[in-house]
Amino acid sequence: MTLDELFALSKVPTPIELSQEDLTRLYWKHRGLLKSQGRDQRFWDATNKNLRLAYERLDEKERQLGKAYSIIQEDLQVATRIQAALLPVPTSIMERDLEIAVYHKQLTEVGGDYYDFFTDESEAADGRNADGYAIGVFDISGHGVSAALVMTYLKAMFAQQMLRSTSPKDIVRSVNEAAFDFLRGIKKYATVNFVKFASKKIQYVCGGGFGLVVHGQEVFHFERKDPFLGLRDRAFRQYEIPFVTGDLLALYTDGMVESQDAEGQDYTARRLNDLIALHADRAVGEIVQCCVDDYRAFRATDIDDVTLLVMRRKEAL
């Protein structure tokens, strides 16, 4: 029997008769298999060692990432509290003149939607109108910490310009001019809805925001023809709408109106405007809650920050 015939059998025959030549071949084949097995064993030992070291490094990286994540979460919690603290409360003059209700919800821990109440210090300083004030609603592009920092920056810019000018269009233009290069440099922009209250009217500038006034039986929708802050370096237009006792003013960002249902249909500004106008005779808090309930029932998921302010004029300025 030859060695090849032996290897072809399914079981070992008894006895085995091999020539000296085949026994020699079998010996060296066995030696070759032992050498190959040794190489394989050394390879897998080295591989297992490398894997063990890799897993140890991964475990260490995971511990480091966990620690870093914990620090980030703590910082975000602080940032959330800081941003919440930056949201304004109405002045005594505003509370005298207006019923105010607000819904404000960020998509993440911090975000780019914000609103602010401004005292017209320039008019108060020269004695023209110690009761003057304005409201701004803004939406910075993007989400998260970068948008929140831009929000803080613009908040300070508007507060500074309120000391220097009385005209909404001049205030917004000055902020845009001062912030234009900075916003372009960091690739950010912001919608603006800036409303100043005057005797029996409001004056406003609207660049990308949304607003409407229910004046008796009439509904005035804000003109949205001006650019966003940081997109174009040009003048802004100013508009006026009657605003007397009993009138309703609503200001909001695009978070609600651009939301979609499970079929991909938009909520739309028209739906929100119609809802506000339909319930204009109700208390402002009830109007806001009605809008929020309708939005929540419609949208499949939250996709953006949401801000909605509803105000009613209580008495003449």
Domain end point (choices 48, 67, 86): 86
**Which tops the pLDDT comparison, 148 or 102?**
102
The predicted pLDDT at position 124 comes to: 46
Which residue range forms the structural domain that includes residue 22?
18-86
Q: Would 141 be classed as within a structural domain?
A: yes
**Which tops the pLDDT comparison, 225 or 202?**
202
Q: What is the mean pLDDT of residues 74-98?
A: 83
Amino acid of residue 49: K
The predicted pLDDT at position 261 comes to: 95
Q: Would 40 be classed as within a structural domain?
A: yes
Q: What is the mean pLDDT of residues 216-239?
A: 93
Q: For residues 252 and 160, state if they share a domain.
A: yes
Q: For residues 228 and 304, state if they share a domain.
A: yes
| Least confident span in 50-64, 82-96, 121-135, 223-237 | 121-135
pLDDT at 317 > cutoff 60: no
Q: Would 296 be classed as within a structural domain?
A: yes
Q: For residues 271 and 151, state if they share a domain.
A: yes
Q: What is the mean pLDDT of residues 44-72?
A: 87
Q: Would 10 be classed as within a structural domain?
A: no
Q: What is the mean pLDDT of residues 67-89?
A: 80
Q: Would 8 be classed as within a structural domain?
A: no
Q: Would 1 be classed as within a structural domain?
A: no
Q: For residues 130 and 265, state if they share a domain.
A: yes
- Crossing angle (nearest 10°) for helices 144-162 and 20-86: 20
Give me the chain's average pLDDT, please: 88
pLDDT digit string (tens) for 108-149?
Answer: 777 788 899 998 765 544 444 445 899 999 999 987 788 888
Q: For residues 60 and 140, state if they share a domain.
A: no
Q: For residues 113 and 211, state if they share a domain.
A: yes
* 304: CATH: 3.60.40.10
pLDDT at 284 > cutoff 50: yes
| Least confident span in 6-10, 33-37, 170-174, 193-197 | 6-10
Q: For residues 43 and 122, state if they share a domain.
A: no
Q: Render the burial of 122-133: b for 16+ CB within 10 Å, e for the rest.
A: bbeeeeebebbb
Q: For residues 82 and 92, state if they share a domain.
A: no
Taking the CA atoms of the chain, what radius of gyration do you get in angstroms?
Answer: 35
**Which tops the pLDDT comparison, 197 or 124?**
197
Q: For residues 37 and 27, state if they share a domain.
A: yes
pLDDT at 41 > cutoff 80: yes
Residue at token pair 């234009």: 180
**Which tops the pLDDT comparison, 123 or 197?**
197
Domain end point (choices 51, 67, 86): 86
CB 249 within 8 A of CB 211: yes
User: In total, how many domains does the chain have?
Assistant: 2
Q: What percent of the chain has pLDDT over 90?
A: 52
Q: For residues 39 and 120, state if they share a domain.
A: no
Q: For residues 278 and 146, state if they share a domain.
A: yes
Q: What is the mean pLDDT of residues 60-72?
A: 85
Q: What percent of the chain has pLDDT over 70?
A: 94
Q: Would 221 be classed as within a structural domain?
A: yes
Q: Would 7 be classed as within a structural domain?
A: no
Q: What is the mean pLDDT of residues 8-30?
A: 77
Q: For residues 141 and 208, state if they share a domain.
A: yes
Domain end point (choices 86, 109, 128): 86
pLDDT digit string (tens) for 238-283?
Answer: 999 999 999 999 999 999 999 999 999 999 999 999 999 999 999 9
